[in-house]
Structure formats: C-alpha cells, structure tokens
Amino acid sequence: MDFRRAWLGALAPLAMLACKSDAASTPPPPDAVTFPAGFLFGTATAGFQIEKADTHTDWADWVALSPSRIKNGDTPDDGGPDALAHVDDDIALMTQMGQNAYRFSIEWGRIFPTQASFDSNTPDAAALAAYDSEIQKLQNAHITPLVTLFHWALPNWLSDVSHPNDPQGWERPETSADFTTFCSRMAQHFGGEVDWWVTLNEPLVYVTTGYIQGGSPPGVVLDATRAFDVARALARAHASCFDAIHQADTVDADGDGKAAWVSVAKHQRTFHPEDPTDQDDIDATKHVHYLWNQWFLNATIRGDWDDDIDGNYTGPNDKQGDPTLKGRMDYIGVNYYSDTLISAHRGVVIPVVNAAVIQDHLPTDRPKTDVAWDIYPEGLRSMLEEDVAPYSLPVVITENGIADRADVNRARFLAEHLYQLGWAMKDGLDVRGYFHWSLMDNFEWQNGFCPKFGFASVDPATGARTLRASGSEYEKIISSKVVKRADIDAMPAFVTTDFCP
Ligand code: BG6
C-alpha cells in the first residue's frame, strides 16, 4: 500500500539499534524445526484482488472513479487472475505444492449486490453456487477452507466513494448491523463445510489507508477522528460477527471437536524509534506499538476497552473485562510482513497519534522487497513472543509473503519465516497453520499488478498460471514438515532488486 511509502517523506537515514522487543530471550537457534501432523499449510488470497467483476463494491467504484489512483491504471478486470473462472487450475497448483488449506474471501457485494437483495435475503444464486462449488472442490482435494468475510471491499450500497466527506461504510451504524446479519447468513449457508473463519482482514490497515493515507475508499486524508471511530466500530463489529458465526455454524466439518474457529487477520509489525536516543521517538514508538499490535486484541480477547485509545483504562468510556467484547477470538490470525520506524518529529505526523509511521525504504542494511519493505524474518518470532503469546490462544499465520517479481528471494523468505515460526513453536507457542500471501500474483490494491507476491505468475492475456521455482520450496517443506538451519544457510543470499516503479 502506498501509505507504507507515503510517510517516509523527508526522514533521513539514522542507524537503528535493536530495541528491547527484538531481543528474544530464547535458547540458541535450533538446528531444525518441525511442524506437527495436521498443521495447516496454505496460501491466502482475497476476492477483490483475484476475482473479476466484483462490481457491486466500493473498491470497483473507486477504481473506476479515478484510475490514476491505481498504479498504471491497473484494474482487476483487465489482466487479473479471474479466480472464479480458474478454480480447477488454482486447486491444481495447491495440490502440486501439497497444501492442505486455503484462505480466500466470500464477497459480500457479490452475494448481495443490492440493498434490496440484502433486505429481502435474496442472495445472488450464481454467486452462492460459485462459492459452493469452490468449497466442494477444495474439500474433494482435502484442502481445508479458511473463509474471510470482509477483505476490504464493501458493498457499494453501504459505501459511496463519490461522497467521501459524508459518513461511509463502517461509519454508518447500519453497516455493522448488516455485517452481523451477513456473518450469520454465511455461517448458516457454508458452516457445514467451513470451520475456519476470519471476520475482518487487517482492520487497522483498512482504517489507515481509508482515513489517514487516503488511498482506499472512502479516500479521506489525515482524519484521525474518523479513523478511530471506524476502528472502534470494527472491533465491535468483529465481536458481533463472532457471536453470529458461533450461533449459526454448529457443524464440526473437520471433526476436531469445534464447529467454528473465528478470528480476525490482524496485521502485526515490529516497531523501532527512528532515533533510538531520542526520548520523544521512543515514547512515540511505544504508543504506536500499543495502538497497532495490542489495542484491538486487548479489546476482543480480554474485553479491555480503551475507548480514547490513550493506552490506559481511566477514560470515561473505558472499561475492563467488558462482557460484550471479551473472549471473541478462538485463535489469533496474524498477518506479518515487516518492520516499522517511528518518528515523533519528522515526516507526516499523524494527528492524535502524534507520530510518523515509516514502513518502507527503512535506513537499515537489511535486504528489501520489490515494494521496499525490509526482509525481517526475526521480527516474526519477536512479535509473536511479545504481542501474541501473552494472550495464550492458538495462532494461525493468516498472511506472510514477499513482493519478488524475479522470484530470487521468495524461497529463502519462506524458509526463514517458517524457521522463525517453528522456533516460536518449540518455545511453546501453539501455532495451527501458516498461509503464504499469495497463491498467485494479483491486484495489489493501489499498487496494481507490479508487486508480485504469487507462488504462481498469471498470464494477463489468458489467465494461465505458471508455478515459480519458489513453489517447489513450499512443496519440499510441506512434504517433509522440517526446516533445517543448514539448508537455509546453503540457499542463495537475499538480494535487493529494482523496486516497483
Ligand atoms: C496485506 C493485505 O496487507 O498485504 C493483502 O491483507 C495485501 O490484501 C498484502 O495484498 C500485500 O500488500 P500490498 O500493500 O502490496 O497490497
């Protein structure tokens, strides 16, 4: 996303010291890590990014309204993977790699294209049939589906991109109520086949791109008040959706004793002060770290509601142990990509947060991806230990991946991250699965098609998929369930190639 780039601004490179959060207090690196039988090895995708004609969504309107907002004027309809027409091809790719799980989204605006269809509970029959058939085919291939119910595209009858100054989407009270109904209906319809659910993808990234950076619907810039209103609405919407799914999905499809596993896909990062000797930068880093990695989880796991988002529970609307929020995660879905630099003084300082957030072109000597994010596998384990393990819940890595159009870094990236994950598991973390972003190259939101995250490339003319060499590394790891340190060390070193223009 561009916001990862936008806040770099005029920040000058300064040497960074490892902060406390990265100093994992664990025994020496293991020689090898292993994954248990039944561990979910998958890939992740999202409807708007891989389907064509997801027309009744705010994202479709957004792309149409102003193509210049998207790099190269790309649209998912022109050169995208057209996944609903290539289900067999995609399942063949998963099977080739030995995957036993797949995360994808069911698109609200495709199932209910109009307000009238939603109000009368008349789902689009073709849309339901398409997802039914996909799930059936996944089951036939012994691939466990993990379904996301909101991956950033809202039905356009709830979000009008031509009026960004009016309350849109999750700012409208009916959106959360309707989402709960949608969750209930989807759990009822698909619950016989689906046990693993993600209610919301990356709620705080959604808020940041839509209301701070302005590169996603509704396209509002630097409005922290509206951003926090939406963040609060999303936390509560998750809790209601959680309840609705549990009420409606009572079928234990995979026989593990639990009919529904419900979480969000929570984007978690590591954070460092831009100047580790500057107290303001250190304080800002602590605050952003709390806001980003802990606020949402504290609310929905412990019921600790920090309404004014100031880091304590003394505000007039704050509450601890709130029964309407507490215990609303069956597992913690974690999306992990990279590291972050925080400055209190320079760059675009976000109001209320009082910090600039820098996510790419970091002045470190770490190798970079094609979108200039640091390759930082150690951060996965340190973040899990510091910000996920304390909640004592099972964990699923719902996304982790790399923009690497030359496919020179992906195999090592995968092995290094799985090694760090396996290490965290050796230390006691209960991790149930890992989903790599992504199965195939897709429409990377405002970055269009340049960043290539796929194990498979997609021919823009024919939609034909070709598995890249890194796909065989995944196949090797999945079949052996082992990652050896010595094997990683023998792989080619990471290289920083040209960034996406
Ligand atoms: C995650 C999202 O933030 O990162 C995905 O859940 C997204 O939808 C992925 O595609 C890659 O990031 P980007 O910014 O390049 O689209």
Nearest-CA residue for atom 14 of ligand 1: 1
Residue whose tokens read 């490339």: 457
CA of 403 to the centre of ligand 1 (A): 10
Contacts of 177 (CB under 8 A, 6+ apart): none
CB-ligand 1 contact for 178 (6 Å cutoff):
no
Q: Do the beta carbons of residue 432 and residue 39 sit within 8 Å?
A: yes
CB of 445 within 6 A of ligand 1: the answer is yes
Tell how far the Cα of 444 is from the centroid of ligand 1, in angstroms: 6
Q: Is the CB of 205 under 6 A from ligand 1?
A: yes
Q: Measured from the CB, is residue 206 less than 6 Å from ligand 1?
A: no
Roughly how many angstroms between the first and final C-alpha of the chain, as a whole number? Answer: 13
Q: Is-contact 367 375, C-beta < 8 A?
A: yes
pLDDT tens digits for range 208-243: 999 999 999 999 999 999 999 999 999 999 999 999
Query: In the prediction, which pLDDT does 476 show?
Result: 98
Quickly list H helices, 44-172.
47-50, 58-65, 87-97, 108-111, 115-119, 125-140
Q: Is 370's C-beta closer than 6 angstroms to any atom of ligand 1? A: no
- Answer whether residue 26 shows pLDDT above 80: no
Residue 351, pLDDT score: 87
435 forms beta bridges with: 42
* Number of the ligand 1 atom closest to the C-alpha atom of 152: 8
Residue given tokens 């790309």 in the structure block: 74
Determine whether the shortest distance from the Cβ of 6 to ligand 1 is under 6 A.
Answer: no
Q: Burial of 30 by CB count in 10 Å (0-12 exposed, 13-18 middle, 19+ buried)?
A: middle
Q: Whose CA is nearest to atom 11 of ligand 1?
A: 444
Token pair 């596993």 is at which residue?
Answer: 261
Q: Is the CB of 437 under 6 A from ligand 1?
A: yes
Cα three-residue angle 309-160-444, rounded to 5 degrees: 75
DSSP-assigned letter for residue 445: G
**Which two tokens mark 354?**
């009082």
The angle that helices 470-480 and 410-426 make with each other, rounded to 10 degrees, is: 30
Q: Which residue minimizes the CA distance to atom 16 of ligand 1?
A: 444
pLDDT at residue 5, rounded to an integer: 37
pLDDT tens digits, residue range 387-435? 999 999 999 999 999 999 999 999 999 999 999 999 999 999 999 999 9
Share of the chain above pLDDT 70, in %: 95
Cβ–ligand 1 distance for 399 under 6 Å, the answer yes
pLDDT at residue 10 greater than cutoff 90: no
Helix (H, G, I), strand (E, B) or coil at 149: strand
Topology classification of domain 38-489: TIM Barrel (3.20.20)
306 lines ligand 1 (CB under 6 A): no
Strand ranges in 437-480 using DSSP code E only, listed in sequence order: 456-458, 465-467
Q: How many CB atoms lie within 10 A of CB 500?
A: 19
For 348, phi and psi rounded to 5 degrees?
Answer: -85, 105
Ligand 1 atom index nearest CA of 46 = 8
Q: Residues 94-109: what's their mean pLDDT?
A: 98
Ligand 1 centroid to residue 202 C-alpha, Å: 9
Q: What is the helix, strand, coil percentage profile of the chain, to 5?
A: 40, 15, 45
Q: What residue ranges do the domains of the chain occupy? A: 38-489
Of ligand 1's atoms, which has the minimum distance to the CA of residue 451?
15
CA–centroid distance, residue 84 to ligand 1 (Å): 20
Using CA positions, which residue lies closest to atom 8 of ligand 1? Answer: 46
- Could you report the per-residue pLDDT of 449-490, keeping only the tens digit for each? 999 999 999 999 999 999 999 999 999 999 999 999 999 999
- Tell me how far the alpha carbon of residue 387 lies from the centroid of ligand 1, in angstroms: 21
CB atoms < 10 A from the CB of 299, how many? 24
Q: Is 331 in the pocket of ligand 1 (CB under 6 A)?
A: no
| Cα 76 to ligand 1 centre (Å) | 14
